[in-house]
Amino acid sequence: MTTQGTPLPRKAGRRSRADNAEVRSQLLAAARSLFAKHGYAAVSTRAVADAAGANPAMIHYYFRNKEGLYEAMLADTFKPLVERLGSLMAAPDLGPAPIRRVLELYMRTLGANPWMPPLILREVVAGDGRLRDWFIRQFASPGSGLLTRLIEREQAAGHLRADLNPTLAALSLVSLAVFPFAAMPVASEVFGMRVKDDYLDRLISHTERLFMQGTGQKP
């Protein structure tokens, strides 16, 4: 499971061939698409190489093995979002409507990168370790204490309904931020949804509203 071996591209001091790292990034893109769609075990390294228009040996060359490829793909995919979320929630003085801004950043990112929700869900659900620990660490720093504390602060400020347990509210918020996107293909059939242009806006507003005081009025 853990990669205990030597590093690979032995100190690429020289750039060559098509200015490059192009094959590497194409492998990452192919891996992201295939792993998101079919899951880790169902995707062969040959399939990734084919989809990237490369040779299986290139995976060994750049990433040592299948796990190394998967790990690099996850980091490449989620690092930007995790960093932006962290800096947003860790800010000493929150701007206006921080909960909504977290929701917006989260949902718009997932909406724009459809491969993210499946990857998140698979990592969350996967019983075996693989990258579960790495993934937990990624989302633990900005997602756990920070989100719970953000909710507490917003409750204290009177911006959020106070009758909710902060920890459960944080868990609910994440649930509502992730699941609907991963379930979109199915939900559109099950619930007969017509995913129109304003769907994302309506979903964000709806989710935010759940944590606010109900008005009793129709939306």
Partner DNA sequence: TTGTAATTTAATCAATCGTTTGATTTAATA
Partner DNA sequence: TATTAAATCAAACGATTGATTAAATTACAA
Displacement of CA 125 from its chain's centroid (Å): 14
**Does 22 interact with DNA (rule: CB under 7 A)?**
yes
The answer to whether 97 and 159 are in contact (CB under 8 A) is yes
**Spatial distance between the Cα atoms of 194 and 177, rounded to a whole number of angstroms:** 19
Interface residue with its own copies, options 139, 150, 151, 208 (CB under 8 A): 139
**Spatial distance between the Cα atoms of 75 and 30, rounded to a whole number of angstroms:** 15
**Does 14 interact with DNA (rule: CB under 7 A)?**
yes
**Does 211 interact with its own copies (rule: CB under 8 A)?**
yes
Greatest C-alpha distance within the chain? 66
| H or E element in which residue 142 lies | none
**Does 136 interact with its own copies (rule: CB under 8 A)?**
yes
Q: Cβ 11 to its own copies, closest distance in Å? A: 35
Instruction: Name which of 45 and 207 has its Cβ closer to DNA.
Output: 45
Interface residue with DNA, options 29, 33, 51, 61 (CB under 7 A): 61
What string marks each residue from 148 to 187 as x (binds its own copies by CB under 8 A) or -?
x------------xxxxx-xxxxxx-xxx-xxx-xx-xxx
Contact partner, 46, from its own copies, DNA, none, Cβ < 5-8 Å per class: DNA
**Neighbour-count burial of 128, counting CB atoms closer than 10 A to its CB (0-12 exposed, 13-18 middle, 19+ buried):** exposed
Amino acid in the structure at residue 68: G
Q: Cβ 64 to DNA, closest distance in Å? A: 6
Instruction: Name which of 98 and 117 has its Cβ closer to its own copies.
Output: 117
> Tokens 């990592």 identify what position?
123
**Spatial distance between the Cα atoms of 151 and 156, rounded to a whole number of angstroms:** 9
Instruction: Name which of 92 and 216 has its Cβ closer to its own copies.
Output: 216
| DSSP codes of every residue in 32-78 | HHHHHHH-TTT--HHHHHHHTT--HHHHHHHHSSHHHHHHHHHHHHH
Interface residue with DNA, options 2, 4, 6, 16 (CB under 7 A): 16
Interface residue with its own copies, options 31, 89, 207, 208 (CB under 8 A): 207
Contact partner, 80, from DNA, its own copies, none, Cβ < 5-8 Å per class: none
List residues near DNA by CB under 7 A: 9-24, 43-47, 54-61, 64-67
